[in-house]
Amino acid sequence: MKYRIEHDTLGEVKVPANHMWGAQTERSVENFKIGSQMPYEIIKAFAILKKCTAKINAQKELLDNDKWTAICEACDEIIEGKWNDEFPLVVYQTGSGTQSNMNMNEVIAHIANEKLKCKNIEKKVHPNDDVNMSQSSNDTFPTAMHIAAVSTLRECLYKPLKSLSDTFHKKSDDFKDVVKIGRTHLQDAVPMTLGQEFSGWAEMLDKSMSMIKDSEKYLLELAIGGTAVGTGINSPEDFGEKVSDEIAKETGIPFVSAANKFYALTGRDDFVFSHGALEALAMDCMKFANDIRWLASGPRAGFGEIIIPANEPGSSIMPGKVNPTQCEALTMVACRVHGNQATISFASSQGNFELNVFAPVMANSYIESVKLLSQSIHSFNIHCATGIEPNYERMNQLVNSSLMLVTALSPHIGYEKSAKIAKQAHKQKISLKEAAIASGYVSEEDYDKYVNPAIMTNKDR
């Protein structure tokens, strides 16, 4: 492999000749061979930020037009994904994200200089003096985190979440007259419809969507302009406001400058709060996925009230088995998101004085949760939810054999007599109707009048 010599304040460094990064990136490559790479979403957000800072620096006559133009062209190519291989750094590096900031600065400077050279312009773009002008890693990485988080929510999560909600709402309407037994405490309860059960799941998704969207407002506030400790040293007046406005124009997302830059550099409760809404969604997914796999359990020794699609063989040893694999995948994602919440919450608590130095792991955890939820919800919807059908015979069997239908008698004969009828039916292994008539508390005519599972669901309310 061929190398070129780059230098930084610590001295000379050999850098692969076929790459655009410089000395500080190469040092990080050598020093941190830990875990996975920084998410592309952070790289793209950084490029958007650098483009906008260059534009504002040019407007303030701090950066000349040739350099500004070259920097912006380089940023556009990075945003388009042309230079993805030039960002090799991992999540587990310096906690401020300084090395990722410098990776971006070095690559942009190298690309920009190539463009200036092609135009026969004898100027050199410097990664610190030009690309990082008026900035610090301490305000750029938190800014990139917020841009990436909101962008990923909007680009990845909301569409599949809405699609699954639509599926559940449709199933709720399709099954509005399908009577089944309700369950509380894992015990038989009064009748309901399968449509009503689906409506509860649909509302979970709708509420989760609303909570996640509400949490965006805290991520729309950007740290840029705070520079090293929040005072804004080495940045021009209103730099944060101007750059935030430019980022809003570039992304179409209403980002604003954080009112208090000291908070914006050291506080991460906004990430804890927003990811908390993602965790709430994950817990809802855990709940309805568990419900669905229980309701589909069987085919002969389980509840068996619904039928889910048979997507693949369920067992390598037991022929004919169909497992609820989409439910299992979704519940595993929910576990991972729960773990990411613990990571983000603990990392948020570890800020010292003017800076939180756990930013990369928080950003990675947040983006991973959004992408996992997006992908698993989409997969669950198309491979499971849309194909769910009722097992009418099994539902009727369980409804007609349920002792909890006795609840309909309570307003007419009282709680104690109703309970006595249920206990006798269970003890003597006879139907509820037989026990009720034998008790002498109700006639057959009254029983048929009072105990109607479909009416008991209040489905027409």
Cis upstream peptide for 319 (omega within 30°): no
96 is in an annotated binding site: yes
CB 204 within 8 A of CB 287: yes
274 is in an annotated binding site: no
184 is in an annotated binding site: yes
208 is in an annotated binding site: no
Place of tokens 């088995």: 321
138 is in an annotated binding site: yes
- Angle at alpha carbon of residue 101, lines to 95 and 105, rounded to 5°: 160
98 is in an annotated binding site: yes
128 is in an annotated binding site: yes
Which residues carry out catalysis? 185, 315
316 is in an annotated binding site: yes
357 is in an annotated binding site: no
CA–CA distance, 203 with 154 (Å, rounded to integer) = 20
Report residue 397 as tokens: 């069997």
321 is in an annotated binding site: yes
129 is in an annotated binding site: yes
Beta bridge partners of 221: 256
Handedness of CA 229, 234, 237, 240 (dihedral sign): negative
Q: Which of 108, 109, 105 is nearest to 140 (CA)?
A: 105
Amino acid at the residue 261: K
CA–CA distance, 82 with 342 (Å, rounded to integer) = 35
CA–CA distance, 160 with 281 (Å, rounded to integer) = 13
Buried b vs exposed e over 114-149: b needs ≥16 C-beta within 10 Å?
ebbeeeeeeeebebeebbbbbbbbbbbbbbbbbbbb
Render 316-377 in DSSP notation, one character per residue.
SSSTT----HHHHHHHHHHHHHHHHHHHHHHHHTT-BTTB-S-HHHHHHHHHHHHHHHHHHH
Q: Which residues are annotated as a binding site?
A: 96-98, 126-129, 136-138, 184, 316, 321-323
Q: Which residues are annotated as a binding site for substrate?
A: 96-98, 126-129, 136-138, 184, 316, 321-323
